Amino acid sequence: MTAGNGGGPTRNGGKATSCFACQTRERTEWCALSHDDLKLIDDSKGVREYLPGDVLYHQGAPCVGVFCVQSGLIGLRKVDHDGNSVLVRLAYPGDTVGYRSFLAGEEHHLSAEVLKPSMLCFIEQATARRMLETNPSLGLRFLKRMARDLDEAEDKFLESTNSDIRVRLAHLLFVLKDRFAIESGNGALTLELPLSRQDMAAMIGVRPETMSRTIRKFEDEGLAFFSGRTVRVPDMAALFAQIEVDS
Amino acid sequence: MTAGNGGGPTRNGGKATSCFACQTRERTEWCALSHDDLKLIDDSKGVREYLPGDVLYHQGAPCVGVFCVQSGLIGLRKVDHDGNSVLVRLAYPGDTVGYRSFLAGEEHHLSAEVLKPSMLCFIEQATARRMLETNPSLGLRFLKRMARDLDEAEDKFLESTNSDIRVRLAHLLFVLKDRFAIESGNGALTLELPLSRQDMAAMIGVRPETMSRTIRKFEDEGLAFFSGRTVRVPDMAALFAQIEVDS
DNA sequence: CGCCAGGTTGATTTCGCTCAAGCAATGTGG
DNA sequence: CCACATTGCTTGAGCGAAATCAACCTGGCG
């Protein structure tokens, strides 16, 4: 359950991708850095691959640095009062994971778990902080990012109180389709979600049983067909219409 | 409905409080500024009093600057899909209002409405941005602040799905007591909330009718007594125990 | 093979929403 | 100054969506 498949992160010295060659750099907040600063990061960072199930850090643990997602997928979880671990958010390539606790200077409030095989860079707290203190535009990027996250979180709250589950599920699929569509054509498309039913249920704030039933309804109505973790949506527009119905 | 009671903000030149003399400065993010930078703000800012009902900005409006709350109380609202304006968050003295849209460089996603007579300083976008770009520690303060806000928002979501309304109301009162207790003694205390029932209902994500009923239950059980906008809590511990019961 | 976690399904209950009416306080115009 | 509308709050009746409880199925794994 703790971090690791094999040895610790390797200092950048072998075949690990350099920040300069990183395909996802443009999508990260770190692209605000100058060549020299980026080099500092590049030299001191650790890179390695993680496998599904690996845990980057646990809720409550002190923050020792941040992870930059080069490829793969990370899930951020929070354990609620009855001990259930609920999936709160996903981190995609280009995202920096653990930046909240780092910026706030607090222990982690979430746990980070690898969901798909991922290549991650680890940047030590001290290094990151130095960058942040000398490079205002880096902080600005993170501010922008967090402002967006905060908005999303508030919308999610509103949605959870006003919309019924059909709408919430349709909405979830709609968001997920941008990242996990593996095939599409004239309105129809197929998704390959790296999420268990429980996780999907938690994301929209319902019990697994209810998720199951709602999925059933969608299938009965021909809106979406679930088989394991792949979802086939014959008509995206029809699914999207669900969101409008009950507004 | 639009901003204003009397003229626009007065350039700082009369009796308006200087930033240097501001009692709440230590609580703001701006206390990170150097003497010289603070002077820049102080010279260019506008200060004036606002009255309940005044609107600082509307959702969707472009962001022209930020407001620093010297005294009083501001409510941040978001209109949901059916056009209801729901209270999302409160801003207290020392808080900076409108910073999210400013930092993200987007239009306002919330509206800001004055709830109690308030003395506010207005800092123009250009000035604020200059400060932010030259003063990394200012950005860091805001990052820290936003990280906290984000955490709260996520907890709120979890609470809305796991906890019943009794718990949510108890929790709300528990939070509010720190700001609005006007009298207290041996476990009992009295609150003077500047909120309508509707606003309280919106804050915990329920309908006004349900709020009314829950309040009734609390009164029947002797947990809290509501009269207009004042709330008397005979035994804070008993109220707090509600939060634990259903966890 | 048996175990177990994850998922599905059914039966039942309950909590909160909807709809609807009544009431008090405030405001407005004649 | 009173009739009237308006707004915010409360209360009731009924309904419905989702939670709960419980059983069962499935596939993976030791």
Domain ranges of chain A: 11-159, 163-246
- pLDDT, one tens digit per residue, over B220-236 is 999 999 999 999 999 99
A146 touching B, CB under 8 A?
yes
B216 in contact with nucleic chain D (CB within 7 A) = yes
**Is the model more confident about A180 or about B81?**
A180
B207 in contact with nucleic chain D (CB within 7 A) = no
| Domain B163-246: which CATH number of 1.10.15.40, 3.30.70.260, 3.30.365.10, 1.10.10.10 | 1.10.10.10
Low-confidence ranges of chain B (pLDDT < 50): 1-8, 10-14, 247
Assess contact for B168 and B206: CB atoms under 8 A: yes
Q: Do B158 and A80 touch (CB under 8 A)?
A: yes
The 3-state secondary structure of chain B reads CCCCCCCCCEECCCCCCCHHHCCCHHHCHHHHCCHHHHHHHHHHCEEEEECCCCEEECCCCCCCEEEEEEEEEEEEEEECCCCCEEEEEEECCCCEECHHHHHHCCCCCCEEEEEEEEEEEEEEHHHHHHHHHHCHHHHHHHHHHHHHHHHHHHHHHHHHHHCCHHHHHHHHHHHHHHHHEEEEECCEEEEECCCCHHHHHHHHCCCHHHHHHHHHHHHHCCCCEEECCEEEECCHHHHHHHHHHCC
Q: Which residue ranges have CB below 7 A from strand C?
A: A 161, 196-198, 208-209, 211-213, 215-216, 226; B 164-166, 205-207, 209-210
Same CATH topology for B11-159 and B163-246: the answer is no
**Cα of A7 to nearest chain B Cα, Å:** 32
- pLDDT, one tens digit per residue, over A49-105 is 999 999 999 999 999 999 999 999 999 999 887 778 899 999 999 999 999 999 888
The count of CB pairs under 8 A between chains A and B is 112
B246 in contact with nucleic chain D (CB within 7 A) = no
Q: What is the pLDDT of residue A136?
A: 87
Listed by number, the residues of chain B in 162-191 with a beta carbon closer than 8 Å to a beta carbon of chain A are: 162
pLDDT higher than threshold 50 for residue A14: no
Q: What is the pLDDT of residue B16?
A: 60
**Mean per-residue pLDDT for A164-191?**
93
For the domain covering B11-159, report its CATH number: 2.60.120.10
Supply the pTM of this predicted model: 0.90
Q: For residue A148, what is the nearest residue in chain B, using CA coordinates?
A: B104
List bases, strand C, within 7 Å of protein CB.
Answer: 6-11, 15-20
pLDDT higher than threshold 60 for residue A157: yes
Band of residue A16 on the pLDDT scale cut at 50, 70, 90: low
Residues of A in Cβ contact (< 8 Å) with B128: none
- pLDDT, one tens digit per residue, over B104-121 is 889 999 999 999 999 999
